[in-house]
Every structure is written in C-alpha cells, then in structure tokens.
C-alpha cells in the first residue's frame, strides 16, 4: 500500500514526465485497439459469412477410407451411414442443428445460353435452422429456397448475369455482420426455366428442369461465379443416388467441440462406419477463410510489433529521464532503510499506474475515433467478399483489456529497467548526484 | 543566420542524446516498419498483376463491346467483336500504342470435356498460342509469378500444330481420370487411342488413363451441338484456387471452330509493365471513338474485368492505409511528446537566445532544424534496418499462403526506391512539423518569463 501511495505521489510530483509517458502509452493503446478492432471486424464478416450464411456451423462430418480422409468431392455417405448419424445426433445432447449436403456440379442451360455450375444441395428446413438467427433471409433478390417449392434453385450473382437474370435493385448489401434485411426484391430473368445437366455417380448423363427462384450466393468472389443451391431430394433424384457428400452441424456450445469429436469417433468405431468429424476451419472448403485469417495475423503482428516498440521506447525514455532526475530521492530512500527491491517496486508500480492511466486515456480516444469512423460507414470491397462492406471498428472489451495488460506490462518492465541501474549505485553517489 | 541556427540545432541534438535516442528510435522503427509493409504490398501486387495480366490473359487494357464484360457469355453473338471490328481495333491499337508488347484476342465460353465415359464442365479460354508463349516467357511472369509457372507440367499450346492441344488444371485432369500428357517424343507412353470404352467394365479407369484424348462438346452460337477431339498436352494453374476446379485453355482458332464463329470476346493489349493503365485506357477510348468505334475499354485494375486482383488489392490497400495512418500518428505524437519535453526543459535557453537578439520566428526554426537533422540521421539507419530485415526474410526461403491463391508463395519483400523516398519525406515532414509546432508557443512567451521558468 505504501508503494502504491508513493507511486501515485511520484506521478503527481513529476507530472510533466508522467504526462509524457502516459501520452505514449495512450497513443500505443489507441493505435493497437483501433487496428485490432478493424481486423476483428473483418474477421467477423468472414466468419459470419462461413458459419451462418454458408451454413458451415461448427463441425463437418465426412467420409474416410481405410482411416484416411478422402477428397471432399469424393466423399459419399450412404443411406445406412446417414441412419447411424441421425440416431447419433438424436441421442447427443451437444448437437443443436445439422444439415445434410450433396455437392452438385454440371452445366446449366436456359435454352439460349449455358453456364457451368457448382454448389450444394441441402435439406431446406435444416438449412434455414443452421442459418439462424442472423441469416434466415440469404438472398439479394427473390425468396429464400425454404419459402419456395423444391423445384426452385438459388444462383450466384455472376452465373445470374450469364443466364440473363438480374435483380431490379442492387441496394441490398451487408450493413453489418448478419444477414440481409428481409425484403423481397423482384428477380428478372429472360428465361426462368433452366435445365441442369449432370453426370451421375454411375457415369450416366442426366438432366432436370428447374426454376430460378433466388439470387444469392455464399458471398465469396469466384465461388459466386457459378454458385447454385437446390433442394437435396431433387438433387438426389438428379444424381440418381441416396448418398450425401457430408454433414455440417452446429453444437449447442462450440466449446464442446473436442468432447463431441471424441464421442463421435468412439460411436463410429463401434458402429463400424468410416466417418470423421472435423472443425469447419480445417475443411478444405474453408481454405480461403483460413488463409485470409493467416494474412490478417501477419498484418496484426507486424503492426503490433511496430506500435508497441515505438511506445515502449518512448515510455522507457521518459522513465529513464524521470529516474535520473530523482537520483537524490532514491539515495534518500535507500539511506532511510528502503531496500533496492523496494525502490524497484515503487518505480514498477509507477509504471503500472502510468500504463493504467495511459490506457484509460487511449481507450477514450479509441472509442471516440471508432464511433466517428463507424458513423461514416465508408463502404469498400474486403478481399474475397462479393458484397461491399462498411469500414467498421469493433469495440470489444476483451480487445481493450488485452491491450491494457500488454501496455501495463511494457510500462512496468521499462520502469523496472530504468530504475534498476540507479538502485545499484552506492548511496553516497546517489545523494551527491546533481 | 541560417548557419547559426543550424549549428545551434546540431549542438542541441548532441546535448540531449538520450532523449533524442528515443525520438530517433520512433522515427527509425516507423520508417523501417512502413518500408517493410510497402515491400510486402509490392510483392503481393506484382504477383497478382503478373498472374492475371499475363497468365490469365486479362491484359493491361481490354476492349469489349458495350456491356460485353457482363453479357458476353449470355449473348456472345451480340456482345462479341466480329472480324471487321477486330481488324479495326487492332489497327487503332497499333497507332495509339506502337510500344505495345502484344495485342491479341481471346474467346471465353463453357464446354463439357469428356473422357469417353464421363463429362466434366469447364470454363474454357481460347488464346493465340504464339501470344501464350510470349506471355509465359515474359520477364514479369518469370520474376514475380514463378510459383505459378513451376506448377505447370507438360508442353505449351504453341508446340503442337498437328493436333488440338488442350491444357487443363490438375483438378480437371484428375476428375477426368487423365493423368498423362500428350507428347510427340518417340516411344512415349501417352498416345491417342480411338477405341470405344465399356464404361461399366472394371478396367475402364486404367483404359481412360492410358491416353490423353478428350472430347470437347458445346452448343454453337447457332444453338447446334458441336464437338472437337483434343489431346491434353499440359497441366496448368490459373493461380486462383477457385478456378482450379474447372478451367481449360485451348487455341483460339480451335475454340472458334467449336462454337462455329469468327468472333472473339475481347481484344487485349499488353503494354510495358510501368504503363499507367487508367491513362492508357482513356487514350485508347478517345482514339476508338475518333475512329467511330463504339466499344468499351477496361484496364486490369477494374473490379469488373479482374475481380480477384481488384478485390484483394482493395483489402490490402485499405489495411495498409489504416496502418500508415496509425504508424504516422504514433510517430508524430511520440516525436511531439519528446520535443515538448525538450522545449519545456530549455525554456531558459530559449529566453537567453531571445535576450541575445534572436527573433520569435528563429526559435521554431531552430527546433524545426533539429527535427530535420534528426530525421536525416534516422532515415538512413531505418533504411539499413529495413534492408537488413528484408535480406533475412528473403533468404529464409519461407513459404506463405495467400488467400485464394492455388500455390504457396515464397516470402519475399520488394523494396521500391520511390516508396522509400515518399516514406522518408513523410517522416521528415512529421519530424520538422513536430519541432516547429511544439516550440511555437514558447517562442511567443515574454523573455523575462522564459528566463525565470522552472521545470520540475
């Protein structure tokens, strides 16, 4: 307590030096929270796009062969295995929702022009459940497939151009993390009827007539160029199969992932089925996500390193100056019986207090700047996201708390080292210093 | 007077070494950090540009029919360039850009590729083989997109005249069960076999894989069915992961034959690497209008013609601009903070200078000069630090994964002299301004007040 009192008193007595250090910490804190807040927001957009909009959930379940993973396009889960899975899910208290998926690809033809397509067929009701609560409305024009008859398909924006479809309005874009506003925008197609041509698992050509009912996609550039979604049952008829490619499921609590994987693996072993459960981030379909996050991490580390080093040097400078000017005070304290460690504690406490005060000031600056930027809503294209997104800065308490810890640590360490040299000197030298 | 001010500034810098060392470290680190970031951005930009402009035939600028970018696949007959337009465009391009590295035409479409038992849909690109050779050998591709070239296997389109050569991505080849590549070497394994296959037989897969023959099937522009025999001569990578599932490249003439047309989707122009695309596009647009051609001119930085490049670089630029703003703010405030302390501690000195006849405006000048000298000392140090870090990183042979790119890239940073100059000017400006602004108030105080001032 005495150390704390002395620390506070020293900060007040040497307010000019302290103000310099506090300002340095504040600048570092604000820069750190602002950049990380921005990166976190872009990460949220990506994660929301995958987990909710694209129905990735928490876990993928797919086929293995002789204990090894198979290419995701070759993964085929038979009807018997699907039965095992539905029984397992019904018994497991950890499963919140799941959706069976069949990968589809082929040539779409409207009688006038054709385009290749690639996408997913899924159980429409389960899919809606997986998209809840943020993406029940996942279309820019038309209606979500679960509100239409199973003959309808959803197509991506670029394939829509190729097939002569356009929405009357391009206003519908992301305004925040979460789905589109529930608003039906008319979809105009030169020809609504479309024929899907595919090759079945047995190598036979097959075709089915469908109706374009919605314009949407997964929100990722490239994929939306030929993206298509349709009802699972229709797709199974088209492919003449009962198989599915994989299952995506959402856990009641994502923290149960490891427990779920263990229980699933033992159940699958007992039942003699070759299936595996994996984190959605580890699936090949999430590779763009994983690589984008890795790029963000590189940027985040580079920026943090530069900002923290500059702030740290600045605090060190102020603390060294402060210690040098208080050599007599240190000498007096030593002659009064204070141990070296007590002096170090006083300066370290001072450093922590400066860290706290600087972080408080920095957080005020950061919050004001974030609110101002978020109000402007500068719209831009964030990498592979098809929809333009607003430039937003996240104000997460965890982010602020982490920055506070980092900067207080830096401040305390620099104060400790600044004091360390002086306290080792003999007391007479300290007392007679200018 | 200037020399006197300069001498004073230099002396002050020497006297406050410890404080200046901290200010210097902020400038050095800020400068080095920004140079390294710019080196990273340049590396990424050059990779994406070389891949899209040369290997994916986007070109520096491209000429389409009005609305052709969006609708050429929907109504190719209407939105493609006919033979006469192609000739006239080439003529105008030749006049406007005598320095063009290449002018060529491409045709885009969808086809089914079959192996006799199974078909696979692909987006096919028709290119001029001679141009394909030239672009593949382009120094920009060799230097900046080496990883994509290394992913190529087999031979190029330009090496085959007796057959219809097709290059496909490895994934397409895998989906078709065709691992072999056509070769004209004597005794080579992969030869064309015209045998009918029993698709239900057990050995069908090995029979399919025994040769390189494939069939391309599509609807012609007159809506008839058309097919073409081809040989897989190579595997390639578009560089973009999302295109790896279904891409193929064949000679333009062969694709025109398949679609029964003499039209092309666009004419692409490859200008020297450093040409500014926006200016070039405007220039060509004016020339085409003057020639009475109602066409659209686009350049590779546009989202509509080069979505991967534009989308990804957009994100990188926004992140870099944000980092630049933060780094400059941190350096500015750190330098200002240090300068303020310096000014406060030297109030008596300022008072003495004023008493000796220095004018009010001379004091900020001395501090600004201090800032300038500090920056001039720090920037070379920062540059050395950035170059040393770059050398370590570039020699580490580390690989990293870029979102959406099909192969891993070597971690290399490319420091550009022009960027270093701009960053140096920015840092110098920040340092001068900090010195000038922080001393401005003190210089306006009364001399007596300055001489009697006391700093805790």
A90-122 pLDDT tens trace: 999 999 999 999 999 888 988 888 888 989 999
Q: Which pLDDT band, with edges at 50, 70 and 90, does A210 fall under?
A: very high
Backbone angles phi, psi at A28, to 5 degrees: -60, -45
User: Are A313 and B29 within 8 A, CB to CB?
Assistant: yes
Q: CA of A288: which chain B residue's CA is closest?
A: B403
pLDDT at B167 over 50: yes
Task: Decide if A20 and B19 are in contact by the 8 Å CB cutoff.
Answer: no
* Percent of chain B whose predicted confidence (pLDDT) is above 70: 94
| Shortest CA distance from A303: residue in chain B | B323
Cβ within 8 Å of A, B 268-287: none
Point out the residue among A113, A117, A313 whose CB comes nearest to the CB of B73.
Answer: A113
Nearest to A326 by CA among A346, A306, A304: A346
Contact B121 A106 (CB under 8 A): yes
Q: What is the pLDDT of residue B341?
A: 76
Contact B327 A307 (CB under 8 A): yes
| Residues 301 through 320 of chain B touching chain A, CB cutoff 8 Å | 303, 307-308, 310-312, 314-315, 318-319
Tell me: the pLDDT tens digits for B35-77? 998 998 999 999 999 999 999 999 999 999 999 998 888 888 8
Measured between CB atoms, does B243 come within 8 Å of chain A? yes
Per the prediction, chain B carries an average pLDDT of 87
Please provide the size of chain A in residues: 434
CB atoms A107 and B246 under 8 Å? no
Chain segment A226-248, per-residue pLDDT in tens: 889 999 999 999 999 999 999 99
Confidence of residue A191 (pLDDT cuts 50, 70, 90): confident
Q: Give yes or no for residue B147 having a pLDDT over 80.
A: yes
Evaluate the omega torsion of the peptide bond into residue A133 and state whether it is cis, within 30 degrees of 0.
yes
Cα of A201 to nearest chain B Cα, Å: 10
Q: Give the separation between CA B306 and CA B65, rounded to whole angstroms.
A: 17
Q: Does A384 score more than 90 pLDDT?
A: no
Which pLDDT score, from 0 to 100, does residue A177 have? 57
Mutation test of the interface with chain A: which of B177, B244, B404, choosing the one with the most A Cβ atoms within 10 A?
Answer: B404
CA distance B62 to chain A (A): 19
Confidence of residue B210 (pLDDT cuts 50, 70, 90): confident
Distance between A69 CA and the closest CA of chain B, angstroms: 17
ipTM score for this prediction: 0.72
Following DSSP, what letter does each residue of A98-158 receive, concatenated? EEEEEEEEEEEE-SS-EEEEEEEEE-HHHHHHHHTTT-S---SEE--GGGS-TTEEEEEHH
CA angle B151, B409, B177 (to 5 degrees): 30
Per-residue pLDDT band for B196 (boundaries 50, 70, 90) equals low
- Taking an 8 Å cut-off on Cβ atoms, the answer to whether A317 and B19 are in contact is yes
Closest CA to A341 of A428, A430, A425, A423: A423
pLDDT at position B118 over 90: no
Which of A124-133, A184-193, B183-192, B319-328 is least confident? B183-192
How far off is chain A from B4, nearest CA to CA, in Å?
A: 29
User: What is the per-residue pLDDT for B410?
Assistant: 83
Chain A neighbors of B402, CB-CB under 8 A: 291, 295
Taking contacts as CB-CB distances below 8 angstroms, the residues of chain A near B29 are 306, 309-310, 313
- For A304-390, strand residue ranges (E) read 379-380, 389-390
Distance CA A195, CA A163 (A): 11
B110 beta partners: B123
Kindly list the residues from chain A whose CB atom is less than 8 angstroms away from the CB atom of residue B303.
381
Return the pLDDT at B456. 45
User: With b meaning 16 or more CB within 10 Å and e meaning fewer, what string describes A38-47?
Assistant: bbbbbbbbbb
For the stretch B325-355, pLDDT in tens is: 888 888 888 788 777 877 877 788 888 888 8
pLDDT at A167: 67
**Secondary structure element (H or E) that encloses residue A251, with its range:** strand A246-251
**Any CB–CB contact under 8 A between B71 and chain A?**
yes
- Mean pLDDT value across residues A150-157: 92
């Amino acid at each position: 307590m005495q150390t704390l009192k002395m620390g506070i008193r020293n900060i007040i007595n040497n307010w000019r030096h302290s103000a310099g250090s506090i300002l340095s910490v504040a600048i570092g804190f604000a820069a750190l929270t602002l950049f990380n807040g921005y990166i976190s927001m872009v990460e949220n957009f990506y994660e929301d796009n995958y987990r909710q909009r694209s129905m990735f959930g928490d876990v993928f379940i797919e086929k293995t062969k002789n204990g090894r993973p198979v290419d995701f396009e070759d993964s085929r889960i038979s009807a018997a295995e699907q039965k095992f899975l539905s029984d397992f899910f019904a018994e497991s208290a950890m499963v919140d929702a799941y959706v069976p998926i069949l990968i589809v690809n082929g040539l779409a033809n409207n009688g006038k022009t054709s385009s290749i397509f690639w996408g997913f067929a899924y159980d429409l009701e389960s899919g809606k459940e997986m998209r809840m609560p943020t993406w029940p409305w996942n279309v820019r024009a038309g209606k979500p497939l679960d509100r239409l008859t199973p003959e309808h398909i959803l197509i991506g924006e670029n394939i829509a151009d190729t097939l002569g479809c356009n929405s009357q309005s391009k206003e519908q874009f992301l305004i925040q993390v979460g789905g589109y506003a529930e608003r039906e925008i008319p979809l105009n197609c030169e020809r609504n009827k479309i024929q899907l041509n595919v090759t079945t698992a047995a190598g036979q050509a097959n075709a089915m007539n469908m109706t374009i009912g919605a314009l949407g996609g997964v929100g990722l550039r490239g994929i939306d160029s030929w993206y298509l979604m349709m009802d699972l049952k229709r797709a199974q008829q088209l492919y003449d199969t009962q198989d599915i490619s994989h299952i995506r499921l959402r856990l009641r609590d994502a923290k149960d992932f490891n427990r779920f994987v263990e229980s699933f693996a033992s159940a699958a072993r007992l039942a003699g089925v070759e299936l595996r459960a994996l984190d959605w981030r580890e699936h090949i379909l999430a590779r763009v996500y994983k690589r984008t996050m890795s790029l963000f991490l590189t940027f985040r580390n580079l920026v943090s390193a530069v900002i923290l080093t500059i702030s740290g040097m600045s605090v060190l400078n102020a603390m060294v100056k402060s210690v040098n000017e208080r050599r007599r005070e240190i000498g007096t304290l030593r002659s009064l019986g204070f141990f070296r460690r007590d002096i170090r504690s006083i300066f370290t406490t001072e450093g922590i207090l400066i860290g706290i005060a600087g972080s408080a000031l920095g957080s005020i600056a950061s919050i004001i700047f974030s609110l101002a930027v978020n109000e402007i809503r500068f719209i831009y294209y964030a990498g592979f996201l098809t929809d333009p997104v607003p430039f937003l800065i996240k104000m997460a308490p965890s982010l602020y708390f982490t920055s506070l810890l980092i900067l207080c640590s830096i401040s305390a360490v620099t104060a400790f080292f600044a004091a360390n040299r002086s306290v080792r000197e003999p007391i007479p030298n300290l007392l007679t210093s200018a | 007077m200037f020399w006197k001010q300069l001498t004073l500034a230099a002396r002050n810098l020497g006297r406050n070494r410890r404080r200046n060392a901290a200010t210097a470290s902020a400038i050095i680190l800020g400068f080095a950090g920004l140079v390294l970031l710019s080196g990273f951005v340049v590396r990424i930009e050059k990779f994406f540009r070389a891949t899209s402009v040369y290997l994916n035939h986007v070109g520096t600028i491209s000429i389409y029919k009005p609305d052709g970018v969006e609708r050429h696949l929907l109504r190719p007959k209407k939105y493609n360039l006919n033979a006469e337009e192609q000739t006239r465009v080439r003529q105008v391009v030749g006049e406007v850009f005598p320095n063009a590295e290449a002018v060529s035409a491409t045709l885009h479409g969808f086809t089914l590729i079959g192996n006799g038992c199974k078909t696979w849909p692909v987006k096919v690109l028709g290119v001029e083989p001679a141009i394909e050779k030239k672009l593949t050998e382009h120094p920009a591709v060799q230097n900046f997109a080496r990883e994509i070239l290394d992913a190529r296997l087999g031979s190029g389109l330009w090496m085959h005249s007796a057959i219809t050569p097709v290059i496909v991505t490895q994934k397409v080849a895998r989906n078709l069960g065709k691992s072999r590549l056509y070769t004209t070497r004597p005794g080579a394994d992969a030869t064309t076999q015209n045998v009918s296959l029993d698709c239900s037989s057990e050995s069908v897969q090995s029979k399919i894989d025994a040769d390189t023959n494939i069939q391309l099937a599509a609807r012609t522009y007159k809506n008839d069915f058309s097919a073409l025999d081809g040989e897989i001569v190579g595997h390639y990578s578009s560089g973009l992961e999302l295109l790896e599932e279904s891409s193929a490249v064949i000679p333009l003439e062969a694709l025109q034959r398949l679609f029964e047309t003499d039209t092309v989707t666009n004419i692409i122009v490859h200008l020297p690497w450093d040409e500014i695309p926006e200016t070039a596009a405007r220039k060509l647009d004016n020339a085409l209008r003057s020639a009475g051609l109602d066409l659209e001119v686009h350049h590779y930085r546009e989202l509509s013609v080069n979505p991967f490049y534009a989308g990804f670089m957009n994100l990188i630029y926004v992140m870099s601009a944000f980092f630049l703003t933060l780094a400059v703010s941190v350096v500015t405030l750190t330098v200002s903070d240090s300068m303020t302390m310096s000014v406060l501690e030297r109030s008596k000195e300022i008072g003495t200078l004023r008493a000796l006849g220095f004018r009010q405006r001379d004091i900020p000048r001395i501090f600004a000069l201090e800032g300038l000298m500090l920056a001039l000392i720090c920037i070379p140090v920062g540059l050395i630090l950035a170059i040393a870090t770059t050398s370590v990183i570039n020699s580490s042979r580390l690989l990293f994964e870029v979102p959406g790119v099909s192969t891993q890239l070597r971690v290399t940073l490319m420091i550009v002299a022009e960027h270093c100059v701009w960053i140096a000017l920015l840092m110098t400006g920040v340092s001068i301004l900090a010195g000038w602004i922080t001393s401005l108030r003190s210089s306006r105080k009364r001399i007596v007040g300055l001489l009697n001032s006391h700093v805790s």
